[in-house]
Amino acid sequence: MVVVLDGFLDAGTAAAHAARHLMERDGGGRVVATFEVDELHDYRARRPGISFVVDRYADYDPPRLVVRVLRDAGDTPYLLLHGPEPDVRWEAFCRAVREVVERFGVTRTVSIGSVPMAVPHTRPLAITPHANDPELLLDTSPWRGELRVPSSAQALLELRLGEWGHAAQGFVAHIPHYLAQLDFPAASAVLLEHVEKAGRLTLDLSSLREQAETRQGEIAAYLDEHEEVADIVAALERQYDAFERAEESGAGLLARDQPLPTGEELGQEFERFLQGLGDDGDDEGDAHRGEGG
């Protein structure tokens, strides 16, 4: 079973975009379980959309947290748990997912997510793997020691499933922080590649990879026209490469002769960066700006 919960751990909408891709490839699949969202959702914190048409309301879009059965390219069935992350009653949510796991005989649960990191988009996309059983891990985590972080429903679910004797693992993609507010399909594709391996599935990712190439081209075109932003990306590249060399040699983590841009510089240039890629406009540079996804 693949788990994708919206609202947290989704920089670049990588996980949500991956879930949409899975559903689109299989026509949405069939819903086999529905959670009582009214008991889990904070409507004032995340208000659902509704249309106002002239003088009336219409088309209310309620949040849905459901389990669907989908089939991969080889016609192998699997489950997708997708919807907004519960705001409350996480323990009850975990118990409900346990019922799904045991009712449908799920042998492995795989969650995906993404976080913003100070990394350049021109370097290989890093993934942090995690699992409630070390034998499930196929790759080494880039983290050393203990890191205290805010929890999530997905994290608690993995922990609880392990306590109940069910295998669960996950993958978190590291998204360039200046692209965190845009669709970043390259991360969606990489996450689903890991889902393929972990779940022994065969997924058609060709359209995602095409979207990733298009996005990379849009970013490259923008950087060609905006030297100040390109300089910041170059600084991140130097930092990344210095870190990689240090990891290989066991030396310090940062190159001393390569200063990083200040937070104010990053904020100002990345704000223009996001506006340039995310907004439509009439000036000459708009020909190179991307859509939202």
Query: 22-40, pLDDT tens digit by residue?
Result: 999 888 999 999 999 999 9
pLDDT surpasses 80 at 160: yes
- Residue 245: per-residue pLDDT: 78
pLDDT surpasses 50 at 139: yes
Query: What pLDDT band is residue 189 in, cutting at 50, 70 and 90?
Result: very high
Query: What pLDDT band is residue 142 in, cutting at 50, 70 and 90?
Result: confident
Looking at per-residue pLDDT, the higher value among 250 and 194 belongs to 194
pLDDT surpasses 70 at 223: yes
- Residue 277: per-residue pLDDT: 55
What contacts 159, CB < 8 A, 6 or more positions away? 132
234-240: long-range contacts at Cβ-Cβ below 8 A with a sequence spacing of 24 or more? 235/259, 235/260, 235/261, 236/118, 236/119, 236/120, 236/176, 236/260, 237/120, 237/122, 237/123, 239/118, 240/119, 240/120, 240/123
| Residue 14 CB coordination number (10 Å) | 31
Query: What pLDDT band is residue 281 in, cutting at 50, 70 and 90?
Result: very low
- Residue 27: per-residue pLDDT: 86
Query: What pLDDT band is residue 229 in, cutting at 50, 70 and 90?
Result: confident
pLDDT surpasses 50 at 184: yes
Query: What pLDDT band is residue 149 in, cutting at 50, 70 and 90?
Result: confident
Q: What mean pLDDT do residues 37-55 have?
A: 96
- Residue 250: per-residue pLDDT: 54
Domain ranges of the chain: 2-205, 210-288
Q: What's 150's DSSP letter?
A: -
| Residue 97 φ/ψ, nearest 5 degrees | -65, -35
Return the residue matching tokens 């000036």: 283
Model's pTM, two decimal places? Answer: 0.83
Query: What pLDDT band is residue 58 in, cutting at 50, 70 and 90?
Result: very high
In this structure, whether the domain defined by 2-205 belongs to CATH 3.40.50.10900 is answered with yes
